Amino acid sequence: MKVLIATEKPFAKVAVEGIRKEVEAAGYEVAVLEKYTDKSQLLEAVKNVNAIIIRSDKIDNEVFDAAKELKIVVRAGAGYDNVDLAAATAHDVVVMNTPGQNSNAVAELAFGLLVYAVRNFYNGTAGTELKGKKLGIHAYGNVGRNVARIARGFGMEVYAYDAFCPREAIQSDGTHACASVEELYKVSDIISLHIPATAETKNSINYALLSNMPENGILLNTARKEVINEAEVIKFLGDHPKFKYITDIAPAATAEFAEKFPERYFATPKKMGAQTAEANINAGLAAAKQIVGYFKSGSEKFRVNK
C-alpha cells in the first residue's frame, strides 16, 4: 500500500515524521508532495497511490480519474468542502476528515487576530479591550467551543448560535444560546464565524445580517471565505466607517478590501489557523491512523461520503 501526503501548505516536519512512522509500522510506503504549484504535479503524484492525506488541497473528479489505485482520502482537518464527495463515491473512494484535531489552534489564532483588531493593528493609537465585550460564536462545533473557553479567560460574555447543536449543549458550557442567527448578531459586539462552507452557508454573511451588529462591530472569519458575500460586506464596510473585517482566509476581492479599508480590514497572508506543530501532529497522525484502520480492519469512522 502506498500513502501520499499531498499538501500544498506543508505540515510541520515533525508531523510528517510521525505520519511516516505510523504508516511504515503498518508495512506501508509513504510518498510526499509538498508546496506544489501546479495541479499537474498532483495528478502525476496520485498515480499508483492507494491513500492520500490532504489539507485544503482540491481533490476533484480529474484527480480521482488520475488516481486509478486510490481507495481512501483523508482530509487532515475539519472542513472537507475541497473534496468532490460525489466524484469520490462515483470512483468508489472513501473520504474521511479528522474532526477536532486542529480546533484549538484555530481558536487560539482567532484571539491573536482579535487582539490585533481591537488594538488598531498596533498602530500606536488607543484601542479597546476584550474584557466585558460580547462575543457571538456563529456555529458551536469543535472550534466554536474552544473559542468560548478562551473567551471566558479574557472575561468576555459569550453567546452562540448553532442550527444543529441543541440549546442545552451550548448552555451547559456556560455560553448563552441564541434562538436565531439574527439574535446572535444583534447581541454581539464581535462575531466569530465557525460555519462550514456548504450550499446553505455560501454567501450567507451579508449586508442584512451584519446590519444587526453595532456600528463599531467586528466580523472575524477563521472559517471559509466562501461564506462571505464579498460585494455586500464591502458595501457594509463602506456604509459603516467603524466596522472591521478580520479574516484568516483572504477574500477573492482581497485587493479591493485592502485598498478601501486599510485600517479596518486585515487578512493573514496565508491561512494560518491550523498551522501549528501540535495541530499538524494531531490531524496528520489521526489521518494516518484512520487510513491504517481502514485498510487493516475496514473501519469507516469519520467517513463523510456515502
Q: Count of CB atoms within 10 A of residue 69's CB?
A: 12
- Least distance from ligand 3PG to the Cβ atom of residue 69, Å: 25
By beta carbon distance, the residue nearest ligand 3PG is 77
Backbone phi, then psi, for 4, in 5-degree steps?
-100, 130
For the record, the C-alpha cell of 109 comes out as 489564532
Does 144 interact with ligand 3PG (rule: CB under 6 A)?
Answer: no
Task: Let me know how long the chain is.
Answer: 306
Residue 168 CA to its chain's centroid (Å):
25
Contact 47, 67 (CB under 8 A): yes
Residue with cell 494516518: 288
Which positions from 253 to 292 touch ligand 3PG by CB under 6 A, shown as an x/- string? ------------------x-xxx-----------------
- Least distance from ligand 3PG to the Cβ atom of residue 79, Å: 3
- Least distance from ligand 3PG to the Cβ atom of residue 125, Å: 32
- Comparing CB distances to ligand 3PG, the nearer of 20 and 224 is 224
CA-wise closest residue to 73 among 54, 45, 49: 54
Among 22, 33, 55, 218, binds ligand 3PG (CB under 6 A): 55
Among 23, 49, 67, 79, binds ligand 3PG (CB under 6 A): 79
Contact 183, 161 (CB under 8 A): yes
By CB under 6 A, which span of 34-42, 74-82, 147-155, 293-301 interacts with ligand 3PG? 74-82
Alpha helices in 244-304 (DSSP H): 254-260, 277-297
The site for ligand 3PG (CB under 6 A) is made up of 9, 55-56, 77-79, 102, 271, 273-275
